[in-house]
Amino acid sequence: MLEILQTPALWLTTTVAFFFGAVIGSFLNVVIDRYPKIQQREVNDAVASMTNHLIPPELACFYEHESKKRQPLSLALPASHCDGCNRPLSWYENVPIISWLLLRGKCRTCGVRIPGRVLWVELFCATYAATVVWFFGMTPFAVMACLVLFVALPLALIDMDTQELPDPMVYILLWAGLLFSAGGVSRVSLQTAVVNAVFFYCLLWSVSRLMPGKLGGGDVKLVAAFSVYLTFHNALYLLILSCVLGLVFVLGGWLANKLSRGKVCTKFYSLRIPFPFGPAICLGGMGVFWWQNIRWLL
């Protein structure tokens, strides 16, 4: 009887979680698209301010005028618009999942393609949040599990696009993990979390110094951030799994590249160029996180 009464409530909370996940996925699409552009603009501005004295006085006015003319760029501004025709999007073109399906992945004015990734990021976040709430309810653990994915997913995709792992996002993962440990949400004690972060940061930092160019600074910080959510042993498994996954990605990409005669994976995953390690760490981190928690909770 109790189960019958609980079922509608469970469906309701799961549906709410699905919509919440879709909205977060929509926001993450903005982060994935704009964060690298914002960082690039900041770098350009820093370089410009250092080289300002090299601009001849007769051109200085022109550059000042140009910099004032450019659009503001942040996660909030400019408002959502089509990249093809610059038209601001109506509210019904901004509904997560549904808008992409109704528009069939194209702008209704200029027909420019809206990447399929926009849809699957929203769908994946929605399904993940709904699944977590279905099995674990609206609990602090569900909040932690969702937060880990909502930070790891954009990190992996930004690294795929730019081979950069933005520090602020890695720090969110790290500090949230320490707070979850301090608050008792994570079963990993605060002491273990701090020891893991320090140990794995020092270990991988040393490796990156011994083998320059093989391991980026962002990768070092990302492993340390994920280790906060894991026991020491599981953090070691994360390290091993990430290396195995990295190797699988490189070999898979290399094979796809060969079989398609260069049409697939030409940008990344070639044996000749450095490849983004972030996706392997994020996938490995999510895998070990769930393996550890399912053993504890079920």
Mark the segment that binds Zn ion (CB under 5 A) among 56-64, 75-83, 205-213, 220-228: 75-83
Interface positions, 96-115, toward Zn ion (CB under 5 A): 107, 109-110
| 80 makes contact with Zn ion (CB under 5 A) | no
The CA distance from 270 to 252, in Å, is: 10
- Provide the minimum distance between the beta carbon of 84 and Zn ion in the complex, in angstroms, as a whole number: 4
| Between 12 and 112, CB nearer to Zn ion | 112
- Provide the minimum distance between the beta carbon of 97 and Zn ion in the complex, in angstroms, as a whole number: 20
Contacts of 48 (CB under 8 A, 6+ apart): 63, 67
The CA distance from 204 to 280, in Å, is: 15
| Between 47 and 112, CB nearer to Zn ion | 112
| Between 82 and 223, CB nearer to Zn ion | 82
Structure tokens at 57: 């006085």
- Provide the minimum distance between the beta carbon of 40 and Zn ion in the complex, in angstroms, as a whole number: 23
When binding is defined by CB under 5 A, the residue of 9, 12, 60, 85 that contacts Zn ion is 85
The CA distance from 204 to 197, in Å, is: 11
∠ CA 206-209-214, nearest 5°, is: 110
The CA distance from 35 to 28, in Å, is: 10
- Provide the minimum distance between the beta carbon of 90 and Zn ion in the complex, in angstroms, as a whole number: 12
Contact predicate 278/218, CB 8 Å: yes
| Between 44 and 109, CB nearer to Zn ion | 109
Backbone angles phi, psi at 165, to 5 degrees: -115, 105
- Provide the minimum distance between the beta carbon of 161 and Zn ion in the complex, in angstroms, as a whole number: 21
- Provide the minimum distance between the beta carbon of 94 and Zn ion in the complex, in angstroms, as a whole number: 14
Mark the segment that binds Zn ion (CB under 5 A) among 31-39, 56-64, 84-92, 153-161: 84-92
| Between 99 and 257, CB nearer to Zn ion | 99
Measured CA distances, 142 to 15, 79, 130, 180, 206 (Å): 15, 31, 10, 12, 35
CB environment 3-23: b (16+ within 10 A), e (fewer) = eeeeeeeeeebbeebbebbbb
Q: Which of 171, 156, 145 is nearest to 246 (CA)?
A: 156
| 84 makes contact with Zn ion (CB under 5 A) | yes
| Between 106 and 187, CB nearer to Zn ion | 106
When binding is defined by CB under 5 A, the residue of 22, 24, 31, 82 that contacts Zn ion is 82
| Between 107 and 142, CB nearer to Zn ion | 107
- Residues at the contact surface with Zn ion, assessed by CB under 5 A: 82, 84-85, 107, 109-110
